[in-house]
């Protein structure tokens, strides 16, 4: 979408599409021949089979790799160590003491996310139980069966960080086959914020959004500058604007049942209503003083802080993933006025809402 949005503004690109998979495999030789006949000024491409031949065209090429960085290309790459660190800090803040990791064997980005996750947790004295999927010897369709065996060895409750949302779909299936509960027994966090996958799952899946729109927009902008100036960028395009989208797979997994009840109420109510601390207390059987104490003991936070986190994250999501006006967003979250949502957001983030949208939505 980022590349598309850039092209809507500047009309610089012609898009080349591979043949649909349902009519057969693309003829790579013919594809490359067509590209050469086009005489392109520059190319944005994924890591397709035979992509290295594009370097022979002697035109600017920017690559979106999925296995590793390529030294002869300008790569678009995320800060995967930071993603792992973010996952560790997020799950730690939820009060977990048991941690696990699910990733791939041969992909650099997966290994970097694993290192960031494990290193951050090690600083707090925590260890990680990891399952590394080897796609060269294991069938994707057999993975849920393997994960059932792995999940059965993990202590509960356990927070599991998966390097993609697709892996979490398999984890959900494995947990159900084990008759385990998500998030009570296993709390799941993935990466990519694939909205279709995350929202169709039951429970819905929390995920780290890498802001792919920003990556696409920035790569298109960089390619145009390279073509126009003739100067190759001095380094790869690094993208690091990650946001955690909290859904139900991580909302409840704490040991204290009353705190779980309160968090469930917050997650399912605060996105559309300006709820009070007293309203959260009424959802439990405890007094406000005791519930506040248990919040601090369980997740090192307060009731009000958790309400703010949920509402601020919802505002961020709508600012960067929709075209709703700020007044419409205020209405969605039941703020009493436009001024209130502006003040609320700036107090928490240090930025005005429209400033946040301008910075993170496209560029």
Q: Where are the domains of the chain?
A: 2-78+212-240, 80-210, 257-360
pLDDT digits (tens, 9 = 90+) for 40-63: 889 888 888 778 877 778 899 999
Query: What is the rounded CA–CA span in Å between residue 56 and residue 108?
Result: 26
Is the per-residue pLDDT at 111 higher than 80?
A: yes
Burial class (CB in 10 A: 0-12, 13-18, 19+), 23: exposed
Q: How many CB atoms lie within 10 A of CB 239?
A: 19
Same-fold call for 80-210 versus 257-360: no
Task: For residue 321, give both structure tokens.
Answer: 């993933």
CATH fold group of domain 257-360:
Arc Repressor Mutant, subunit A (1.10.10)
Give the whole-number percent of the chain exceeding pLDDT 70.
95
Letter string b/e over residues 154-170, b meaning 16 or more CB atoms within 10 A of that residue's CB? beebbbbbbbbbbbbbb
Query: What is the rounded CA–CA span in Å between residue 326 and residue 303?
Result: 26
Give the whole-number percent of the chain exceeding pLDDT 90.
58
CATH fold group of domain 2-78+212-240:
Rossmann fold (3.40.50)
The full 3-state SS of 81-140, as one line of letters, equals HHHHHHHHHHHHHCCCCCEEEEEECCCHHHHHHHHHHHHHHHCCCCCEEEEEECCCCCCH
As a whole number, mean pLDDT of residues 206-233 equals 90
Max Cα–Cα distance, the chain, nearest Å: 74
Query: Would you say 207 and 190 are in contact if contact means Cβ atoms under 8 Å apart?
Result: yes
pLDDT band, very low/low/confident/very high, at 11 (cuts 50, 70, 90): confident
Instruction: Give domain 80-210's CATH number out of 3.10.129.10, 3.40.50.2300, 2.40.50.140, 3.40.50.300.
Output: 3.40.50.2300
Task: For residue 92, give both structure tokens.
Answer: 């730690």
């Amino acid at each position: 979408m980022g590349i598309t949005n850039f092209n809507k503004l500047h009309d610089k690109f012609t898009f080349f599409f591979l043949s649909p998979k349902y009519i057969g495999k693309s003829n790579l030789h013919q594809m490359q021949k067509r590209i050469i006949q086009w005489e392109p000024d520059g190319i944005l491409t994924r890591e397709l089979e035979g992509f290295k031949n594009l370097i022979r065209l002697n035109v600017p090429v920017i690559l979106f790799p999925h296995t590793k960085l390529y030294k002869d290309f300008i790569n678009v790459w995320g800060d995967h160590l930071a993603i792992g660190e973010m996952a560790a800090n997020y799950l730690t803040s939820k009060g977990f003491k048991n941690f696990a990791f699910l990733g791939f064997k041969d992909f650099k980005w997966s290994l970097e996310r694993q290192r960031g996750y494990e290193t951050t947790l090690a600083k707090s004295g925590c260890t990680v139980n990891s399952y590394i999927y080897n796609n060269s010897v294991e069938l994707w369709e057999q993975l849920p069966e393997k994960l059932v065996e792995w999940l059965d060895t993990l202590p509960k409750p356990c927070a599991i960080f998966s390097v993609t949302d697709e892996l979490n779909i398999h984890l959900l299936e494995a947990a159900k086959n084990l008759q385990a509960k998500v998030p009570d027994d296993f709390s799941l966090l993935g990466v990519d914020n694939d909205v279709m996958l995350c929202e169709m799952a039951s429970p819905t899946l929390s995920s780290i959004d890498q802001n792919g729109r920003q990556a696409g927009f920035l790569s298109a902008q960089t390619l145009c500058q390279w073509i126009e100036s003739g100067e190759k960028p001095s380094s790869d395009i690094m993208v690091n604007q990650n946001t955690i989208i909290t859904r139900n797979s991580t909302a409840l997994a704490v040991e204290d049942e009353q705190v779980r009840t309160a968090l469930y109420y917050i997650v399912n109510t605060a996105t559309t209503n300006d709820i009070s601390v007293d309203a959260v207390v009424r959802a439990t059987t405890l007094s406000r003083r005791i519930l506040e104490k248990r919040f601090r003991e369980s997740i090192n936070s307060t009731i009000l802080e958790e309400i703010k986190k949920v509402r601020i994250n919802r505002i961020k999501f709508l600012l960067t993933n929709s075209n709703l006006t700020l007044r419409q967003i205020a209405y969605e979250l039941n703020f009493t006025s436009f001024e209130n949502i502006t003040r609320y957001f700036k107090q928490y983030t240090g930025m005005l809402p429209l400033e946040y949208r301008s910075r993170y939505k496209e560029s």
